[in-house]
Amino acid sequence: MNREYNSNKKKNSNKGKLLKSVIVLLAVIALIFGVTYAWFFNQMDMATLFTVQSPSDISILGPGGSEMASLDLKYTANEKVENKVTIRRVICVQSAAELHQLEIVHTTNMKDLTFNLYPASAVDDTMVNTTVTDGGFSYKYNPDHKISGKYINVNNMNNGYNYASASYHEKNYEEYKNVQSHAEPVYWLASNKLQVDKNNKVAVNETEMYRTYYVCEISWTETTKETDIFYILAQNAS
């Protein structure tokens, strides 16, 4: 009984690590959009390729356009098959411009970490296939319409882990060289500028804004080392 309790406690501890770090995500995004420069210089922050000005007329929100400090990555038994976890959460890009770009930056400590982004739209019928319910709202998406993109600084993959090249080392660590390999972030950029959902308009402080929803699907292999930093950023495009 004691052994089982300790095992469960360890698993819960691992999930706690994940919540604290993997998805510093939108909490960090909220901070990034609140400052003039798009990078920071301490061990928990990573440089981004987008330069975000403040104030900005683009932001990342949660389901239904709600304010969101971070994504909820707690997962259920239905979201785990053996030791493989796959979760799907909804984000909203709220913007005044008709085009935007997406960037994802993450460290590489989690095994087999992959992600996909899909355009999504609100739906009332939760029985529709490929529906995600998040925050009390339901969204449908087409798994064949994955947003294309690519890593720009992955050097290689070994045993399920990505490794970054040195091309962006100085952006994050300046001249400091003694950096653990999984702490070097990798950068993913969407291949194309993304069109907003013109059917979903709202007025914010008397400004017309578009709300465009995406399903963010994240998978990883559950191990004892579930600690990564993961940013999603949006930038207006023209």
Which two three-digit tokens encode residue 8?
Answer: 């469960």
Cα 30 to Cα 24, 49, 60, 196, 222: the distances in Å are 10, 16, 8, 20, 28
Asked whether the whole model's pTM tops 0.85, one would answer: no
Instruction: Check: CB of residue 100 under 8 Å from CB of residue 196.
Output: yes
Chain-centroid distance, C-alpha 115: 8
pLDDT of amino acid 196: 97
Instruction: Check: CB of residue 165 under 8 Å from CB of residue 179.
Output: no
Alpha helices, DSSP H, located in the chain: 2-21, 25-32, 169-173
Q: Is 216 a residue whose pLDDT tops 90?
A: yes
Taking CA 144 as the corner, what is the angle to CA 139 and CA 149, rounded to the nearest 5 degrees?
A: 95
pLDDT of amino acid 35: 30
Q: Is 27 a residue whose pLDDT tops 70?
A: no
Amino acid at position 28, single letter: V
pLDDT of amino acid 34: 32
Average pLDDT over residues 161-178: 86
Task: Write the pLDDT tens digit of every residue in 181-213.
Answer: 888 889 999 999 999 999 999 999 889 999 999
- Give me the residue label for tokens 């739209």: 121
Q: Name 122's Cβ contacts closer than 8 Å, sequence gap at least 6.
A: 137, 138, 139, 200, 213
Instruction: Check: CB of residue 105 under 8 Å from CB of residue 39.
Output: no
